[in-house]
Structure 1
Amino acid sequence: MKIISGKFKSRNIIINKKNKVRPTTNLMKKVLFEWLSKYIKKSKCLDCFCGSASLSIEAISRNAKCVTSLEKNFYLYKNILKNIKKLSIKNINVINVNALKWLNRYGKPYDIIFLDPPFNNNIINNIIILLKKNNWTKKNTIVYLENIKKKNIYIPKNWKNIKKKNIGQTIGKLYLVKN
């Protein structure tokens, strides 16, 4: 998998194929970062289900200030550490943790949050509730949500959908937190 743009453009991210990870496709990633172009510079980002850390690394490549990347699978976590070491990235904090457990405490808000959970997992509604309840969002936080089209997902009333893209069975949406 290649980084699409920014200071690490065309560099490879190594993914161990035996770990069942479904990275955001290059097409969806290109769309997402076009959407984020006016928000990403110097932003503080949270990647809740980082998997390959493709979104985390792309954010840093495009001048995000820092990224906190959460991944519960130990083998994926170790692979991410190898990739960020290979790229000499210092401003990604990778944490080997279940996102639900990590978010179930009071936190400091992020500027951009990536929610790209496993498609067969119903955890996303609980994650969204915790983001709102425990201070992980603030006014003007941008939340990217990627999932399959037919899932019913709880969206707080103060999240305004500002962008939407369907690619195959996948839907990507960008939300702006209003307050």
Structure 2
Amino acid sequence: MRIIGGKLKGLRLNTPKNLPVRPTTDLAKEALFNILNNQIDFDDIKVLDLFSGTGNISLEFASRGAAEVVSIDRSIQCINYLKDTARQHGLTNIKTFKADVFKYLEMETEQYDLIFADPPYDLNRIPDIPKIVFEKQLLNADGLLIVEHQSMQNLSQHPAFVEQRKYGHSSFSFFKMLVS
């Protein structure tokens, strides 16, 4: 894994082998950030990274100038790795929390410009993520939710669904606030 843009571009992330993760591949991450480059200005955005794992996505957003990146994972090893990596590279814009994502979402009241969720692919509650995010109004008016999931899964039933982009066995589903 590596950081593909921003001030840490090219940095290789040497994650411990024992972390309970399935990181977003460099190919999928590069495709995702190419899409985002044309849609958002990374400077000063507030990002929520759910199921952050290694922090690969959090570090990418922080490297690109996000004002604040809040990273949530239930694994203390993942949280400690991300904290250490952020500290080592001077990324003071990353805040980490060890928590169950669904419990965190139920208590969260802040709004974000972008929410990224990369849950375990076998998690049966993946469709609940957009439901909770939009019911709790956790996105700013022009905010974006991105959920990474298996390509065979379809999340298009949610009214805020915009599109699905497939990259091999992984897909990103994009959701936006409905502006009336």
Structure 2: runs of 5+ lacking an equivalent: none
Q: Given the two structures, how large is their TM-score scaled by the length of structure 1?
A: 0.91
Q: Which residue of structure 1 lines up, in the alignment, with residue 8 of structure 2?
A: 8
Q: Which residue of structure 2 lines up, in the alignment, with residue 36 of structure 1?
A: 36
Q: Deviations over 1:90-117 (max 9, x none)?
A: 0111101111111112512100010111
Q: What does residue range 167-178 of structure 1 map to in structure 2 within 5 Å?
A: 167-178=167-178
Match of 1:113 among 107, 112, 115: 115
Higher mean C-alpha displacement, 115-124 vs 11-20 = 11-20
Contact 1:106 1:135 in 2 (8 A): no
Q: Secondary structure, in 3 states, of the residue corresponding to 1:20?
A: coil
Q: Which residue of structure 1 lines up, in the alignment, with residue 88 of structure 2?
A: 86
Residue identity over aligned pairs, in percent, reads: 26
Contact 2:161 2:173 in 1 (8 A): no
Query: Following the alignment from structure 2 to structure 1, what is the Cα–Cα distance between the partners of residues 108 and 97?
Result: 17
Q: Secondary structure, in 3 states, of the residue corresponding to 1:144?
A: strand
Alpha-carbon shift at residue 154 of structure 1 (Å): 6.6
Structure 1: runs of 5+ lacking an equivalent: none
Aligned length: 177
Q: Given the two structures, how large is their TM-score scaled by the length of structure 2?
A: 0.90
Contact 1:70 1:94 in 2 (8 A): yes
Q: Aligned Cα RMSD in Å? A: 1.7
Alpha-carbon shift at residue 161 of structure 1 (Å): 1.2
Query: Following the alignment from structure 2 to structure 1, what is the Cα–Cα distance between the partners of residues 88 and 30?
Result: 23
**Is 1:64 matched with 2:66?**
yes
Query: Following the alignment from structure 2 to structure 1, what is the Cα–Cα distance between the partners of residues 174 and 129?
Result: 16
Shift in CA distance, 172/152, structure 1 to aligned 2, threshold 3 Å: closer
**Matching residue's letter, 1:165:** R
Alpha-carbon shift at residue 118 of structure 1 (Å): 0.7
Query: Following the alignment from structure 2 to structure 1, what is the Cα–Cα distance between the partners of residues 69 and 15?
Result: 19
**Matching residue's letter, 2:61:** A
Query: Following the alignment from structure 1 to structure 2, what is the Cα–Cα distance between the partners of residues 117 and 45?
Result: 16
Contact 1:128 1:155 in 2 (8 A): no
Shift in CA distance, 88/155, structure 1 to aligned 2, threshold 3 Å: farther
Contact 2:73 2:98 in 1 (8 A): yes
Alpha-carbon shift at residue 153 of structure 1 (Å): 3.2
